[in-house]
């Protein structure tokens, strides 16, 4: 049994160097040849052995099985329901445009010009929806995706949790300057104990933890083994829930000195939200966002540890339209259905971004001049765009100036945003400019 953490992490070196095979000897497939319908995963009673996706051996986290499993995560792990309640679905008017597939852009880092339509395959897009001025101008589903498909959002989950945390800060239920230990005395002896809530939200904590998905000894590996998202190796003796794991994270360096992207911060932030509200995190998300935003679908939230804690840093599975609903309320200063669902000040703080000098220290060559604020990535481009980002191609992209919101799910083989940023970010921006010109 190969120990798998995230889909494709073993492929990173080979895929980026153009090698033709995965370590198991299977050829690397493109979007068309890895189409999950064509491949026939989990069809038949029973599915033929070579068409099964088996959690026990980590199949559901390995490309190309991920092209099916990312849309069926609840079939592999326990999940909680984030309830949309029983209210009306917030419907968007439809104004489809047929000029979008031909929009051209130049990938980051150079290379030949590409069309929007070509970028979908390049990025292993599973589904994508574009809102312009609140109207659906573009919506596509591929493979096993449909409007009601719940797809894992990976780190887009973080932006939901970060927004909840900002909402509690705005209400005074969390003090951004307070040390984490004020709310979570369990973490007093950990690297988080004397970090400020703001530093956790903005990921500027100084802790001994690595997000390297290629290292089975990294902190992220410990984290997903502890919370049950990832299969545990035989004889595993480590922490068996997230609350047992977090106190073990040691300090390393000063807090507030630099942005370092680490999922473990979001686990602490989710704990802070749950503790401050005295409720399960999934219920907070339902009450504060899922119900008032008129979400179309209950979401599935991976919650595989015995405490019932959801995977705050990466386990939410919404349907595509609900990503767009979240982006749209952000674009509208927190207003949806005529109500101020998120305080305008919260949206403004996020959109304004964090300290760019902190971000610069993290050396993202494709994201020059960006910052990170409360679990959102802020471009500081002329449009003021900001985005929620998840590995394998998940995104909510908000472009205030173009009045555009993009929601995307994907199942790219490589577990790093850098694998598809080059053909995503300039595509999004080019579409924004096209939509602005068209008016």
Please report, as residue ranges, which positions from 194 to 233 form the binding site for a copy of itself (by CB under 8 A): none
Q: Which is nearer to a copy of itself, 2 or 55 (CB)?
A: 55
Residue span binding a copy of itself (CB under 8 A) among the ranges 77-85, 231-239, 411-419, 428-436: 77-85
| Rounded (5°) CA angle 260-351-180 | 45
In the complex, least distance from residue 108 CB atom to a copy of itself, rounded to whole angstroms:
38
Distance from C-alpha of 118 to C-alpha of 428, rounded to nearest angstrom: 13
Q: Which is nearer to a copy of itself, 136 or 404 (CB)?
A: 136
Distance from C-alpha of 24 to C-alpha of 154, rounded to nearest angstrom: 25
Q: Which is nearer to a copy of itself, 83 or 104 (CB)?
A: 83
- For residues 130, 136, 138, 143, the Cα torsion angle rounded to the nearest 10 degrees is 90
Does the footprint of a copy of itself cover residue 247 (CB under 8 A)?
Answer: no
Given a contact cutoff of 8 angstroms between Cβ atoms, the answer to whether 10 and 19 are in contact is no
Does the footprint of a copy of itself cover residue 335 (CB under 8 A)?
Answer: no
In the complex, least distance from residue 356 CB atom to a copy of itself, rounded to whole angstroms:
34
Does the footprint of a copy of itself cover residue 245 (CB under 8 A)?
Answer: no
Distance from C-alpha of 184 to C-alpha of 192, rounded to nearest angstrom: 9
Distance from C-alpha of 264 to C-alpha of 211, rounded to nearest angstrom: 9
In the complex, least distance from residue 342 CB atom to a copy of itself, rounded to whole angstroms:
23
Site for a copy of itself (CB under 8 A): how many residues? 36
Distance from C-alpha of 319 to C-alpha of 283, rounded to nearest angstrom: 18
Residue span binding a copy of itself (CB under 8 A) among the ranges 38-46, 127-135, 200-208, 343-351: 38-46
In the complex, least distance from residue 422 CB atom to a copy of itself, rounded to whole angstroms:
35
Does the footprint of a copy of itself cover residue 368 (CB under 8 A)?
Answer: no
Given a contact cutoff of 8 angstroms between Cβ atoms, the answer to whether 411 and 35 are in contact is no
Residue span binding a copy of itself (CB under 8 A) among the ranges 45-53, 105-113, 131-139, 339-347: 45-53
End-to-end Cα spacing for the chain: 56
Does the footprint of a copy of itself cover residue 54 (CB under 8 A)?
Answer: yes
Does the footprint of a copy of itself cover residue 308 (CB under 8 A)?
Answer: yes
Does the footprint of a copy of itself cover residue 52 (CB under 8 A)?
Answer: yes
Q: Which residue in 25, 46, 93, 217 binds a copy of itself (CB under 8 A)?
A: 46
Q: Which residue in 1, 24, 32, 45 binds a copy of itself (CB under 8 A)?
A: 45
Given a contact cutoff of 8 angstroms between Cβ atoms, the answer to whether 313 and 264 are in contact is yes
In the complex, least distance from residue 280 CB atom to a copy of itself, rounded to whole angstroms:
8
> 301: which strand partners?
80, 316
Distance from C-alpha of 65 to C-alpha of 216, rounded to nearest angstrom: 21
Helix (H, G, I), strand (E, B) or coil at 302: strand
**Catalytic position from the list 34, 69, 127, 155:** 155
> Please, which residues have CB within 8 angstroms of residue 400's CB and are 6 or more apart in sequence?
331, 351, 383, 384, 385
Q: Which is nearer to a copy of itself, 100 or 276 (CB)?
A: 276
Q: Which residue in 120, 274, 396, 405 binds a copy of itself (CB under 8 A)?
A: 274
Does the footprint of a copy of itself cover residue 112 (CB under 8 A)?
Answer: no
Q: Which is nearer to a copy of itself, 114 or 324 (CB)?
A: 324
**φ, ψ (nearest 5 deg) of residue 81:** -95, 125
> Please, which residues have CB within 8 angstroms of residue 65's CB and are 6 or more apart in sequence?
41, 53, 59
Q: Which is nearer to a copy of itself, 20 or 56 (CB)?
A: 56
CA dihedral sign, ordered 292, 298, 304, 307: positive
In the complex, least distance from residue 322 CB atom to a copy of itself, rounded to whole angstroms:
14
Distance from C-alpha of 348 to C-alpha of 350, rounded to nearest angstrom: 5
71 is known as an active-site residue: no
Q: Do you find a cis peptide bond into 46, omega within 30 degrees of 0?
A: yes
What one-character-per-residue DSSP string does 128-172 give?
EEEEETTEEEEEEE-TT--TT-B---TTHHHHHHHHHHHHHHHTT
Distance from C-alpha of 414 to C-alpha of 47, rounded to nearest angstrom: 27
Does the footprint of a copy of itself cover residue 55 (CB under 8 A)?
Answer: yes
Residue span binding a copy of itself (CB under 8 A) among the ranges 11-19, 79-87, 229-237, 375-383: 79-87
Q: Which residue in 29, 42, 108, 178 binds a copy of itself (CB under 8 A)?
A: 42
Distance from C-alpha of 237 to C-alpha of 244, rounded to nearest angstrom: 12
Residue span binding a copy of itself (CB under 8 A) among the ranges 107-115, 156-164, 303-311, 349-357: 303-311
Please report, as residue ranges, which positions from 148 to 167 form the binding site for a copy of itself (by CB under 8 A): 148, 150
Could you list the active site residues?
A: 155
Using CB under 8 A, list all residues that contact a copy of itself.
42-43, 45-47, 52-56, 74-81, 83, 86, 147-148, 150, 241, 243, 271, 274-275, 280-281, 298, 303, 306-309
């Amino acid at each position: 049994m190969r120990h798998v953490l995230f889909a494709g992490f073993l492929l990173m070196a080979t895929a980026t160097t153009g090698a033709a095979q995965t370590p198991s000897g299977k050829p690397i497939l493109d979007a068309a040849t890895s189409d999950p319908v064509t491949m026939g995963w989990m069809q038949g009673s029973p599915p033929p052995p070579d068409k099964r996706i088996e959690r026990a051996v980590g199949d559901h986290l390995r490309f190309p099985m991920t092209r099916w499993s990312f849309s069926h995560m609840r079939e592999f792990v326990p999940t909680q329901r984030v309830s949309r309640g029983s209210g009306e679905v917030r419907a968007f008017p439809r104004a489809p445009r047929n000029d979008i597939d031909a929009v051209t852009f130049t990938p980051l880092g150079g290379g030949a010009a590409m069309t929007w339509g070509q970028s979908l395959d390049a990025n292993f897009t599973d589904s994508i929806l574009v809102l312009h001025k609140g109207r659906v101008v573009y919506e596509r589903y591929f493979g096993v995706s449909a409007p009601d498909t719940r797809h894992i959002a990976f780190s887009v989950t973080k932006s939901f949790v970060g927004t909840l945390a900002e909402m509690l800060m705005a209400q005074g239920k969390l003090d951004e300057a307070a040390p984490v230990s004020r709310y979570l005395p369990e973490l007093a002896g950990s690297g988080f104990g004397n970090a400020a809530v703001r530093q956790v939200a903005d990921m500027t904590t100084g802790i001994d933890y690595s997000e390297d998905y290629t290292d089975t000894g990294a902190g992220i590996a410990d984290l997903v083994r502890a919370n049950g998202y990832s299969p545990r190796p035989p004889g595993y003796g480590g922490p068996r829930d997230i609350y047992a794991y977090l106190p073990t994270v040691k300090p390393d360096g000063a807090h507030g000195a630099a942005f370092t992207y680490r999922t473990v911060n979001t686990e602490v932030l989710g704990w802070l939200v749950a503790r401050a509200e005295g409720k399960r995190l999934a219920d907070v998300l339902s009450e504060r966002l899922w119900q008032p935003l008129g979400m179309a679908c209950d979401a599935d939230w991976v919650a595989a540890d015995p405490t019932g804690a959801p995977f705050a840093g990466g386990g939410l599975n919404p349907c595509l339209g609900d990503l767009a609903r979240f982006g749209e309320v952000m674009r509208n200063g927190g207003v949806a259905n005529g109500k101020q669902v998120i305080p305008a000040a919260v949206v403004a703080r996020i959109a304004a971004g964090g300290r760019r000098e902190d971000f610069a220290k993290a050396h993202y060559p494709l994201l020059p001049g960006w910052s990170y604020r409360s679990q959102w990535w802020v471009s500081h481009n002329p449009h003021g765009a900001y985005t929620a980002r998840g590995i394998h191609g998940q995104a909510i992209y908000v472009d205030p100036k173009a009045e555009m919101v993009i929601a995307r799910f994907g199942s790219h083989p490589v577990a790093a945003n850098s694998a598809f940023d080059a053909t995503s970010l300039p595509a999004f921006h080019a579409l924004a400019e096209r939509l602005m010109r068209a008016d």
